Amino acid sequence: MDEVVELLRSRWQASYDLQLVTRRRRMYLQVMWAYLEQQSFPLNEEGYRAHLAEVLEIVNRLGQAGVVRDWLSTTRDRPRLGKALSLQLQGEERLEEFLL
């Protein structure tokens, strides 16, 4: 988790929120435009880290940690107000475990 926080901070100078989103039986990791250092962010640092740990646990269980790390390191986009960055997660045989 610390690695991801450091990657976000070094890349975009902010601890952006990460969310898992499901659409049409596909799962996406989204880097949201809200970030921990923002005054209006709804979580404190402890809550942010707990939430991030939950998201990263699923990413790790899907075997997508390396893909996510590479994507966060190389994407040319950056989160901005009203526009999250999205990465479709692979591993369809494992996705069934997380989709309702």
Kindly state the helix (H) or strand (E) to which residue 22 belongs, with its residue range. strand 16-23
Domains in the chain, number: 1
pLDDT at 38: 96
CA 63 to chain CA centroid, Å, is 14
Residue 68, CA distances (Å) to 37, 44, 54 in order: 22, 24, 15
pLDDT band of 92, cuts 50, 70, 90: low
Contact 53, 20 (CB under 8 A): no
Q: Is residue 58 part of a domain?
A: yes
pLDDT at 24: 86
Q: Is residue 71 part of a domain?
A: yes
pLDDT at 94: 62
pLDDT digits (tens, 9 = 90+) for 5-26: 999 999 999 999 999 999 988 8
pLDDT digits (tens, 9 = 90+) for 56-83: 999 999 999 999 999 999 999 999 999 9
Range of the domain at 47: 2-92
Q: 85-89 and 26-35 as β-strands: parallel, antiparallel, unpaired?
A: antiparallel
Q: Which CATH number do you get for residue 17?
A: 3.30.428.40
The sign of the torsion formed by the CA atoms of 65, 67, 70, 72 equals negative
Q: Is residue 97 part of a domain?
A: no
